[in-house]
Amino acid sequence: MTTEFLRYTLDYAKQLDKEDILRDFRNEFYLQPNTIYMDGNSLGLLSKRAEKTLLESLEDWKIHGIDGWMQGNHPWFFMAETLGEKLAPLVGAAPEEVVVTGSTTVNLHQLVSTFYQPKGKRTKILADELTFPSDIYALQSQLRNHGFDPEDHLIRVKSRDGRCIEEDDIIAAMTDDIALIVLPTVLYRSGQILDMKRLTREAHQRGILIGFDGCHSVGAIPHAFSEWGVDFAYWCNYKHLNGGPGSVGGLYVNCKHFGTMPGLAGWFGSTKEKQFDMEHTFTPAQSAGAYQIGTPHVLSCAPLLGSLEIFAEAGIENIREKSLKINQYLMDLIEHELPDMGFVIGNPREDIRRGGHISLEHEEAARICKSLKEHGIIPDFRAPNIIRLAPVALYSSYAEVWQVVQVLTTIMTEKHYKKYPNTREVVA
């Protein structure tokens, strides 16, 4: 039996699992029997530590009542900043540059209302045509609030192939009428990583502020927001960071902008010493905390306290190394087992350009996803033709990846998917 042939066997996958330095973290998560979870890029699984810190916060409320603000296991008054400190290493920032607050779109509204300051000829916002729709809706509404027509003032860089965005095309669009740039770190369909360092440098050379949506990268790949000079960023914490459905979002503001008045001021953006003075003069915190608006959603923050302990122990570099390896193994298996089944791997193949999930294209994608679910495999569908598969470094095994491809082969060979309509579910 040749070494090349062995690569495609279950024994080889099991050997990779034995060599995996992160394998013990799998025991931290609630994995369901007879189910293989490949959708951690949409909603991460519950960990036992996240459950523990949530229950501890419930206990704080039960025992301390209003005194939970300053007492108990996890005092609420400092929870957003405490979580920001724990998140900072994952995004390459100083602790005071990160805070956990709001949601992805609320934080985007806050940051654009703060940093979009149209003056003279500079009135337009630059984005891309493949970004998540919610970001586009927010940018359009911000432009309308300034009296601008989004059709003219929201510039969306075109994709050459419908999958990826070329950095050269983004840079070419950085013209002297652009006031602000908002881009994804990782494109949600194809998993392409944009070169944030290069784009930030090019934007600043032209006098343009730039921010990034990190929803599909934070917790999956290392970042260096402060080193790169990124002006701001925002993200959700329920995907790769396993914070739970509706988990509170996160935002980063480069320390060079501390003191910039929030576009949307609220009492929890106050400096801590003044917050309960109840003055009608807003005194913003000299940190990312200034860009909070309302009271922290304590019970939605609490699971992150436990989840981020796991990330600190595992190390984001180790997580990235396994993510690249296990996703490459998935692609190798697909190409070996399913060469003539109509599949196209739509994500970038180079490690430096590939995020934490595989984008598998097929004209019957919606049907195939339903068939996979019937077989106990949880994928993710994105219209019109994408099956997203995300082996997650902390809880996915190589043996599971091998099994996913065997099931996919059976589904395609037996045409099991044809029993379903080729339409998405209500929640895709």
CATH number for 88: 3.40.640.10
pLDDT tens digits for range 303-318: 999 999 999 999 999 9
Last residue of a domain, one of 282, 313, 344: 313
| Residue 82 structure tokens | 């405490």
Q: Which of 388, 380, 391, 376 is nearest to 427 (CA)?
A: 380
The yes-or-no verdict on residue 104 having pLDDT over 80 is yes
- Residue 183 — φ and ψ, nearest 5°? -135, 160
pLDDT tens digits for range 261-278: 999 999 999 999 988 888
pLDDT tens digits for range 377-400: 999 999 999 999 999 999 999 999
16 and 132, same domain (yes or no): no
125 SS3 class = strand
CB-CB neighbours of 151 under 10 Å: 8
The yes-or-no verdict on residue 404 having pLDDT over 70 is yes
DSSP type of residue 287: S
- Whole-structure pTM value: 0.96
99 and 232, same domain (yes or no): yes
Q: Give the rounded percent of residues in the chain with a pLDDT score beyond 70.
A: 99
Q: How many domains does the chain have?
A: 2
307 and 319, same domain (yes or no): no
Residue 140 · residue 154 · CB < 8 Å = yes
Residue 198 has a pLDDT of 98
The yes-or-no verdict on residue 218 having pLDDT over 70 is yes
Contacts of 236 (CB under 8 A, 6+ apart): 103, 104, 215, 243, 247, 249, 250
Q: Which of 218, 269, 299 is nearest to 111 (CA)?
A: 269
156 and 238, same domain (yes or no): yes
The yes-or-no verdict on residue 428 having pLDDT over 90 is no
Summarize the confidence of residues 85-98 as an average pLDDT.
98
Average pLDDT, the chain: 96
Question: Residues marked as binding for pyridoxal 5'-phosphate?
Answer: 104-105, 132-135, 213, 216, 238, 267, 295
In which element (H, E) is residue 177 found?
none
pLDDT tens digits for range 333-374: 999 999 999 999 999 999 999 999 999 999 999 999 999 999
Residue 2 has a pLDDT of 54
Last residue of a domain, one of 313, 333, 362: 313
Q: Report yes or no on 364 lying in a domain.
A: yes
The yes-or-no verdict on residue 426 having pLDDT over 80 is no
| Residue 36 structure tokens | 């293989």
21 and 59, same domain (yes or no): no
Q: Which of 411, 374, 382, 416 is nearest to 36 (CA)?
A: 374
Residue 141, class by beta-carbon neighbours within 10 Å (0-12 exposed, 13-18 middle, 19+ buried)?
middle
The yes-or-no verdict on residue 1 having pLDDT over 60 is no
The yes-or-no verdict on residue 179 having pLDDT over 70 is yes
305 and 324, same domain (yes or no): no
The yes-or-no verdict on residue 5 having pLDDT over 90 is no
pLDDT tens digits for range 204-216: 999 999 999 999 9
Amino acid at 180: L
CATH number for 364: 3.90.1150.10
| Residue-range definition of the domain harbouring residue 384 | 3-30+315-417
Question: Residues marked as binding?
Answer: 104-105, 132-135, 213, 216, 238, 267, 295
The yes-or-no verdict on residue 3 having pLDDT over 70 is no
186 and 290, same domain (yes or no): yes
Maximum C-alpha span of the chain: 77
For the ranges 34-48, 49-63, 414-428, the lowest mean pLDDT is seen at 414-428
The yes-or-no verdict on residue 249 having pLDDT over 60 is yes
